[in-house]
Structures are given as C-alpha cells and as structure tokens.
Amino acid sequence: MKKEFRFKIDVPKYVYPVGRGGEKFAEGLKKEVLYAAYCETCDNYMMPPTAYCPRCFSEIKEYKKVTHAYLDLYTVIWKDFNGKDLDEPIVYGFIRFEVDDRDVEGGLIHKLKVDDPSKLVLGVPVEPRFKPAKERKGVITDIEHFELKLE
C-alpha cells in the first residue's frame, strides 16, 4: 500500500522591490558609502536604513554616512544545515557602525573575508569590499564581503 506522497510547493520567482528605505541604501552603494537612517525625534541612528522609525513612526528625513565600521559578532560555519562538513568554513560577521562617534542601532550581517578565523577579535575595524561599479544592482550583494581594515 502507498504510504508516502511526495509533492512540492513551488513559486518560480519572487521579486522584492527595495522600498523607500532601500532606495537610499542603493544610492549609497553606488558611491561606495553606507547610509544609516537618522530619526530626529528619537535622536537615533538605524542600520539597515529604514523609511520610518519603528518607535515613533515618524518618517526618516535624514540619512547619514557611517564613519566607522567594526566587527561586533561573528560565526564560523563548519557544517551545513544537515550536519555535513563544509569543504571550506564560511565566516559571517555582524558588522556594527558609528556615525561621528555615535552608535548606530542594528548593523549588517555579511560574509567576512579573513585568513584565520581563530585570530578574530571582536571590535576590530572592518570595511566593505564593493563589487565593480558596473556589476552593482543597488542591493546588499553589491558588497562582496567585509574585510579587516588595515590601519
């Protein structure tokens, strides 16, 4: 007797427009800068930049260039989701930012290029490595990865 039934849920394609907040982010990527959203009412910077402040609901009018980026958290992925060893470990960093010495709330999760993950220290300055201008599409993958900033 048939015991199992295999089937799928498929949707050929999804597209997600970047929205109002994402448009500003895209503008920055073009110029190789990262913008943080600034909520005047709450006096608070936010990354990724949003179109509105989720706390006070006012519209974001100002986006400011981040002036400093540092590694706040990281993880080294050794196995895939199903427990199989990866050929090469993948390192993800959680990058946080500052705007003129002010903390930015949130940050970006991205790939981190590093030679020896065991030597990583939290707090080290990092910088984004952008794809060549021609290949950029105005989204997060325009950044190839973050890497340690050489002083």
Partner 1 sequence: MSRVALVGIGSTQYRPETSEKNFKELMYEAASRAYIDAGIEPRKDLDCVITASEDLWEGLAIFDEYVPDQLGGVLKPVFTVGGDGLHGIIHAYMLIKTGYFDLVAVEAHSKASEIETLQKIYHFAMDPLYIRPVVDNPYALAALEMMNIMRLLDITFDMLDMTIMKNHLNALEWGSPYARIYDYDNLESSEYVAQPLREVDIAPHVDGATVAVLASEEKAKELTDEPIWIEGVGWATQGGRIERNLHNFPVSLNTAGNMAYDMAGIENPMAELDFAEVDDRFSFRELASLAMLRLDGGDLMEMVVNGVYTLDGDFPVNTGGGFLGNGYPLEAGGMMKLLHAVKQLRGEAGFNQLDNPEKALVAVRREVPSNSYAVVILAR
Partner 2 sequence: MRMNIHFKNRVACVGAGMTLFRRRLFETSDELMWLAARKALDEAGLTIRDIDCVVYGTAPDNFDGIHMQSEALADGGGALNKPYTRVYVGGGTGVFSAIAGWWHVASGLCRRVLVIAEEKMSHVQPHPQYVFHHIFDPVTEKPLGVNLIWIFALEMHRYMYKYNIKKEDIALVSVKNKRNALDHPAAQLGMKITVDDVLNSEVLVWPVQRLDISPISDGAVALVFTDEENAKQLTDEPIWIDGVGWSLDTMYWTNRDLAFPTYLYYAGKMAYKMAGIHNPKKEIDFAEVYDPFDYKELHHMEGLQLARKGEAPILTREGVTERDGDLPINPSGGLLGVGNPIAAAGLMKVAEVYWQLKGEAGRRQVKKDVVTGLAQAWGDLMQVGTVIIMRR
Partner 3 sequence: MKPENPPGTPYKRSEFEDGKILYTEDSLELWYRWSLGKYLGRYLEGLKEGKILGRYCRGCGRIYVPPREVCQYCFRETDEWVEVGDTGIVNTAVVSYIQADRSRMDKPLIIAVIELEGATEGMGILHKLGEVDPEDVINRKIFGKRVKAVWKPPEERTGSVNDILYFKPVEEV
The residues binding partner 1 (CB under 8 A) are: 3-4, 6-7, 9, 14, 16, 18-19, 22, 46-48, 54, 72-83, 90, 92, 94, 96, 105-111, 117, 122, 139-141
Whether the CB-CB separation of 111 and 92 falls below 8 Å is answered with yes
Whether the CB-CB separation of 52 and 129 falls below 8 Å is answered with no
Of these partners, partner 3, partner 1, partner 2, none, which one is at the site of residue 51 (CB under 5 to 8 Å by kind)?
partner 2
Cis peptide before 48 (omega within 30 of 0): yes
DSSP state, 132?
P
Query: CA 37, CA 21: separation in Å to the nearest integer?
Result: 8
Q: Which is nearer to partner 3, 12 or 54 (CB)?
A: 12
Binders of partner 3 in range 15-54 (CB under 8 A): 15-18, 20, 22-23, 26
What are 44's two structure tokens?
């608070």
131 touches partner 2 by CB under 8 A:
no
Three-state SS letters, 47-78? ECCCCECCCCCCECCEEEECCEEEEEEEEEEE
Q: Which of 1, 3, 15, 118 binds partner 2 (CB under 8 A)?
A: 15
Binders of partner 2 in range 20-39 (CB under 8 A): 20-22
**Chain contacts with partner 2 (rule: CB under 8 A):** 5, 7, 9, 11-22, 50-52, 54-57
